Amino acid sequence: MEIKKIAVIGAGAMGHGIAQVAAMAGYDVTMRDIKEEFLKRGMEKIRWSIGKFIEKGKITPSEAEKALRRIKTLVSLEDAVKEADFVVEAIPEKLDLKQQVFKEMDQYSQKHTILATNTSALPITEIATATSRPEKVIGMHFFNPPQLMRLVEVIMGEKTSEDTCNITIDLVRKFGKEPVLCKKDVPGFIANRITISGTNLVAWMVYKGEYTIEEVDAAAMYKAGMPMGIFALLDFTGIDIAYHVLKFMEEREPNFKVSPLIKEKIEKGEIGVKAGKGFYTYPDKGKWAMPQISKDKAEKFDPMTQTYVMVNMAAELIRNNIATPEDIDKTMKLGFNMPIGILELADTLGIDLIVSKLKEIESKYGEFYKPSPLLEEMIKKGELGTKTGKGFYTYEK
Closest CA to 205 of 195, 214, 196, 216: 216
- Range 373-380, long-range pairs (CB < 8 A, 24+ positions): 373/319, 374/315, 374/316, 374/318, 374/319, 375/311, 375/312, 375/315, 375/351, 378/351, 379/351, 379/352, 379/355
pLDDT at residue 204 above 80? yes
The reply to whether 281 falls in a domain is yes
The reply to whether 266 falls in a domain is yes
Catalytic residues: 120, 141, 153, 192
Tens of pLDDT along 68-94? Answer: 999 999 999 999 999 999 999 999 888
Tens of pLDDT along 120-163? Answer: 888 999 999 999 999 999 999 999 899 999 999 999 999 999 99
pLDDT band at 254 (very low <50, low <70, confident <90, very high): confident
Pair (104, 149) in one structural domain:
yes
Give the per-residue pLDDT at 222: 93
The reply to whether 210 falls in a domain is no
Pair (129, 45) in one structural domain:
yes
Task: State the average pLDDT over residues 375-385.
Answer: 97
The reply to whether 392 falls in a domain is no
Number of domains in the chain: 3
pLDDT at residue 267 above 80? yes
Closest CA to 340 of 389, 376, 302, 307: 307
Give the per-residue pLDDT at 1: 78
The reply to whether 160 falls in a domain is yes
The reply to whether 264 falls in a domain is yes
Pair (75, 137) in one structural domain:
yes
Task: State the average pLDDT over residues 277-306.
Answer: 92
Pair (10, 158) in one structural domain:
yes
Pair (59, 152) in one structural domain:
yes
Tens of pLDDT along 6-29? Answer: 999 999 989 999 999 999 999 999
pLDDT at residue 324 above 80? yes
What percent of the chain shows pLDDT beyond 70? 100
The reply to whether 168 falls in a domain is yes
Q: How far apart are CA 115 and CA 94, in angstroms?
A: 17
pLDDT at residue 212 above 90? yes
Task: State the average pLDDT over residues 223-238.
Answer: 90
Give the per-residue pLDDT at 220: 92
The reply to whether 298 falls in a domain is no
CATH of the domain at 341: 1.10.1040.10
Question: How buried is residue 370: exposed, middle or buried, by Cβ count under 10 Å (0-12/13-18/19+)?
Answer: middle
Pair (325, 282) in one structural domain:
no
CA 20 to chain centre: 20
CATH of the domain at 145: 3.40.50.720
Pair (271, 311) in one structural domain:
no
Contacts of 237 (CB under 8 A, 6+ apart): 272
Pair (166, 280) in one structural domain:
no
pTM attached to this predicted model:
0.91
Burial 116-154 (b: 16+ CB within 10 A, else e): bbbbbbbbbbebbebbebbebbbbbbbbebbbebbbbbb
pLDDT at residue 287 above 80? yes
Domain of 79 in residue numbering reads as 5-182
Contacts of 356 (CB under 8 A, 6+ apart): none
Pair (47, 174) in one structural domain:
yes
